[in-house]
Amino acid sequence: MNQQDKQKAFEEEEKRISETVSKIKHRIAVFSGKGGVGKTTVSVNLAYALKMEGYSVGILDADITGPNVAKMLGVDNDIIFLNEKMIPFEKFGAKMISMASLLKNGTPLIWRGPMRSKVINQFLADVEWDELDYLIADLPPGTGDEILTIAQQMKPDFAVVVTTPQDVSILDAERSVNMAKELKIPYIGIVENMAGFICPRCGAVVELFGAGGGEKLSQQYNIPLLGSVPIDLDARILGDAGKPIVLEKPECEVSKSFKSIADLIHAQHYEAPTIKKP
Ligand SMILES: Nc1ncnc2c1ncn2[C@@H]1O[C@H](COP(=O)(O)OP(=O)(O)OP(=O)(O)O)[C@@H](O)[C@H]1O
Ligand SMILES: [Mg+2]
């Protein structure tokens, strides 16, 4: 491909991305400074909490080298291509696309940033998302190329920064909050996950990862704490089994937290905006 052809292909892709984005009312980026704090769990359950309210939702697994959304939804099929477009999977009434569907289990993907960004571009340009109320991007930890690409191309209007209550996670979450500010994402909210473990035997709450970190961060940066999600054994068991807890156990504390977070995000866009732009 010569330089002119490359430029033309680039411009065409940009155009397709703009068309995709223009058909999606709201776009949410879920990220964190630290790994394993629950981004994928938050992305998936937030998606279904919104779906339960009657909104059309898609989940874009933007964690290219460690894609977990497919696993958490029990999807292990290959992606279907139709007329040069990828057809997103439909699971429990929401759409989803993940690099996991292009890889065999256990295959490592050792790609530099530009390659990972290219896949994200394709997930926006060449996936038949159609009209959606919400598209949620589940990002890898840190402040790497994926978040930059999502910010530039998907143009999220809401950044959800996930953290656990402990100091080391809060420290990393600060970086994520500052990154969301620098990327000029209009709204930023914090989700404190793994905030207290509910003992399945006696119901007592054990503060496994400390307490109050999310609230402290919220005050320090004047950014709302959207909610605190406790640790519940079922959240992990159901996640591993490909069943979002909000759908399976809608009345448990974890699900109630996710629903309340979804309500806050939705209210921000439609009813009573309570969150000030940073
Ligand atoms: N509130 C919770 N209660 C119980 N288990 C949870 C909770 N949140 C997350 N988990 C479990 O913790 C593990 C890590 O969660 P998850 O994969 O969502 O984190 P992540 O931030 O996406 O990780 P990574 O940085 O690797 O992408 C998973 O096994 C998940 O089921
Ligand atoms: Mg993840």
pLDDT of amino acid 203: 80
Q: How far apart are CA 149 and CA 154, in angstroms?
A: 8
The 10s digit of each residue's pLDDT in 181-201 is 999 999 999 999 999 998 888
pLDDT of amino acid 270: 67
pTM over 0.85: yes
pLDDT of amino acid 80: 86
Nearest CA to ligand 1 atom 15: 38
Nearest CA to ligand 1 atom 31: 236
pLDDT of amino acid 108: 76
Whose structure tokens read 């109630």?
A: 256
Nearest atom, ligand 1, residue 43 CA: 18
Nearest CA to ligand 1 atom 6: 236
Q: What is the mean pLDDT of residues 104-114?
A: 81
- Tell me the CA–centroid distance for residue 111 and ligand 1, in Å: 24
Task: Write down the domain spans for the chain.
Answer: 7-270
- Tell me the CA–centroid distance for residue 88 and ligand 1, in Å: 23
Q: What is the DSSP letter of 8?
A: H
Nearest CA to ligand 1 atom 29: 236
The 10s digit of each residue's pLDDT in 61-94 is 999 989 999 999 999 888 888 888 999 999 999 9
* CA-based nearest residue to 185, from 76, 56, 66, 28: 28
Q: How far apart are CA 159 and CA 139, in angstroms?
A: 11
The 10s digit of each residue's pLDDT in 139-184 is 999 988 999 999 999 999 999 999 999 888 899 999 999 999 999 9
pLDDT of amino acid 16: 96
- The reply to whether ligand 1 has any atom less than 6 angstroms from the CB of 229 is yes
**Number of the ligand closest to the Cα of 162:** 1
pLDDT band at 28, cuts 50/70/90? very high
Average pLDDT score over the chain: 92
pLDDT of amino acid 82: 87
Q: What is the mean pLDDT of residues 266-275?
A: 68
* CA-based nearest residue to 141, from 48, 222, 64, 234: 64
pLDDT band at 278, cuts 50/70/90? low
The 10s digit of each residue's pLDDT in 92-107 is 999 999 998 888 777 7
- Tell me the CA–centroid distance for residue 259 and ligand 1, in Å: 18
pLDDT of amino acid 79: 85
**Number of the ligand closest to the Cα of 69:** 2
CATH label, 7-270, candidates 2.60.40.10, 3.40.50.300, 3.20.20.140, 3.30.70.260: 3.40.50.300
Residue 222 has pLDDT above 80, yes or no: yes
Question: Could you tell me the CA-to-CA distances from 229 to 18, 114, 198, 208 in Å, in that order?
Answer: 34, 34, 11, 13
Instruction: Check if the beta carbon of residue 250 is closer than 8 Å to that of residue 263.
Output: no
